[in-house]
Structure 1
Amino acid sequence: MDIASQIEEVFVSAGARGFLHARELDGEGQVDVDADAPVVLASVFKIVVAVAFARQVAAGRLDESERATVTTRYRIGGIGTAGCFDDVEMSWRDLAGLMLALSDNAATDLIYHRVGRQAVSDVLHDLGLDRTSVIGCCEDLFRSMAEDLGLASVADLEAQLATVTPERIWSLSVLDPGRTTASTPREITALLNAVWTDLAASREACERVRSMMSRQVWPHRLASGFDSDVRIASKTGTLPAVRNEAGVVVYPDGRRYAVAVFTRATSLAERLPAVDAAIGRAARLAVNHLRETAG
């Protein structure tokens, strides 16, 4: 069985369809499992926002030590400042850190509005990521869900999702890569390659993004497939039936691999541990193959 078939079997066994691209950062090897298929990014888009942020900091257009306030406007669900009861004041630097380490939705939106939509679009244009589309920030994604369900406010979204039929959830635009923030696995590894080789921005800016991604706290997806001596810097993404993670895996021998894994489960269950684990297993299979076949 070839490597693509082995990886596909991992996803099928977990109850999902999977899409994967893995590439050596210091070589030519690649593993492709539907790597050019359009996929919903979910919070993986925050890597693009982080690059736009780091570019502005490095260019002196944004003082990362300046303090900003996360108000109730941004209390749209999740953890970090998005889950706080009271207004939170912290530096842009710390907000960016929470955006990637915890996938803090409120921190993301504050940064997105500070750097501006054009700066985010410029990242995609400059890197030639023609099949990647970022339609807005987290509140835009949540707003689209509320609109699809006929709700007057995003505040009612969480309660409503628990009561609507599965058919209505499956029809949400946020689950359709043709109508929401989306990309392909191959373009996301191209983005990671650009960040890790200082092509996405200045060396200072790229190192800032790499450092923030290395503090991502979730070990249940990509990291679950690798031994503890393997360093991983990555970003997760989660929506109903969608479980993703993309990042760079660095082995003790210094060899580096960009891996982007996107899944669409057959279940809308809130917890999908088999799919989470499949992301790590699929990534490990891909990287093992690259290590074994390298010239």
Structure 2
Amino acid sequence: MAPPSAADKVTARLQVIFGEAGVEGFVHARDIDGDGDAREVALRADAPVIVASIRKIAVAVAYAREVAAGALDRAARHTITAANREGGGIGTDSCLHDVTMSTRDLAFFMLSMSDNAATDKLMEILGTDRVRAVAAELGCPALPVGRYRDLWEPVWAELGLDPDGDIDAQLDQVSEDRIRGLAMLDPTRSASSTPREITSLLTAIWRDRAGPAEACAEVRELMSHQLSTHRLIAAFAADVRVAAKNGSLWGVLNEAAVVEYPDGGRYAVAVFLRTPALGGRNPAADAAIGRAARTAVDHLRRAPAAADTTPEETT
């Protein structure tokens, strides 16, 4: 019987990480400057997954393309109103009053703090059809690209909730089983992507293939400002540049990123989790995202001569 390959060993290590955290994990990582998929780590990499806010990367690409083409002014002023806010979110989504900011700052709030209201305003400016076309062109044809209000209305209807009432109070009366059964949380019944599609999208951005070089550079810069650092980013040393976008939903924790080392190595990695708990803090799951990403990237960085060595987690 042949000994396990390096690929088998890293896959087994990922399974252990997810098992210890009590989650189901999906991973894809690739060497951005490598030869196709020859240098990759894959665990259920082609399974459909719920992407949550990772979808905002495609919105950012659509925005940056329009700016690079001269069709959209970065400095133009736009007002986020109650029509864009769901309430209880992050950034302008929780503001009590209208907020005016530039087009560029809408994109910044969208990626840095995952501001849903800023995203909806940007979607309103760009148009759903344009964002959908960009996502499809970049290999993510099933990615959810609508405004948040449009994405959530079917959920409230499925649960029999009054969208004009107190949603949080109504949700308190809904059982966990009914929430788990939502189409929104089933990637076979709703908009979705795969870990491989997401790392392909990131690779296109980092190799200036997702649009004009100016547009790709802007998306890279915007992604470098994510405020949340407790999942994937926490697993890498301070001298490693990580540009990331995370996402969360009931029973879903995700993060996708490009990790760039001082020696020039660049790696796209996407980790998607399904968790037993629907919400609340989950330090073990958060840490598993970082550990899985670090394990995958460490594997890709190993010299060919060390191909039969099991990657070790380091700090």
Q: Which TM class, normalised by the smaller chain length?
A: over 0.9
Task: Indicate the residue corresponding to 1:126 in structure 2.
Answer: 137
1:51–1:294 CA distance, 2 compared to 1 (3 A): farther
Structure 1 CA distance, aligned partners of 2:91 and 2:250?
20
Task: Indicate the residue corresponding to 1:177 in structure 2.
Answer: 187
Aligned residue for 2:143, secondary structure, equals: coil
Q: CA deviation at 1:45?
A: 0.2
Matched, 1:27 2:34: yes
CA offset digits 1:225-263 (Å, max 9, x no partner): 111111100101100110000010011111000001100
Match of 2:101 among 83, 86, 90: 90
Structure 1 CA distance, aligned partners of 2:248 and 2:136?
25
Number of matched pairs: 294
Matched, 1:237 2:243: no
Matched, 1:266 2:273: no
1:125–1:269 CA distance, 2 compared to 1 (3 A): closer
Q: CA deviation at 1:293?
A: 4.2
Moved more, 173-182 or 72-81: 173-182
Letter in 1 for 2:11: A
Structure 2 CA distance, aligned partners of 1:220 and 1:180?
28
Q: CA deviation at 1:64?
A: 1.4
Letter in 2 for 1:238: S
Provide the aligned C-alpha RMSD in A.
Answer: 1.4
Structure 1 CA distance, aligned partners of 2:166 and 2:300?
47
Matched, 1:12 2:19: yes
Is the 1:136–1:181 Cα contact (8 Å) retained in structure 2? no
Q: Within 5 Å, which residues of 2 pair with 1:142-161?
A: 142-153=152-163, 156-161=166-171
Q: CA deviation at 1:294?
A: 4.8
1:257–1:117 CA distance, 2 compared to 1 (3 A): same
Structure 2 CA distance, aligned partners of 1:208 and 1:158?
36
Q: CA deviation at 1:185?
A: 0.1
Structure 2 CA distance, aligned partners of 1:202 and 1:30?
26
Q: Within 5 Å, which residues of 2 pair with 1:1-295?
A: 2-28=9-35, 29-77=39-87, 78-130=89-141, 132-153=142-163, 156-294=166-304
Aligned residue for 1:40, secondary structure, equals: coil
Is the 1:240–1:270 Cα contact (8 Å) retained in structure 2? no
Structure 2 CA distance, aligned partners of 1:294 and 1:24?
14
Q: Which has the larger radius of gyration?
A: 2
Letter in 2 for 1:82: D
Aligned residue for 1:237, secondary structure, equals: strand
Is the 2:249–2:279 Cα contact (8 Å) retained in structure 1? no
TM-score (norm 2): 0.90
TM-score (norm 1): 0.96
| Identical residues among aligned pairs (%) | 51
Structure 1 CA distance, aligned partners of 2:177 and 2:45?
27
Task: Indicate the residue corresponding to 2:309 in structure 1.
Answer: none
CA offset digits 1:245-290 (Å, max 9, x no partner): 0010011111000001100001223111111110000000000011
Q: CA deviation at 1:161?
A: 2.4
1:67–1:294 CA distance, 2 compared to 1 (3 A): farther
Letter in 2 for 1:280: G
Q: CA deviation at 1:145?
A: 2.1
Structure 2 CA distance, aligned partners of 1:137 and 1:238?
17
Structure 2 CA distance, aligned partners of 1:247 and 1:139?
26
Structure 1 CA distance, aligned partners of 2:293 and 2:274?
16
Aligned residue for 1:283, secondary structure, equals: helix
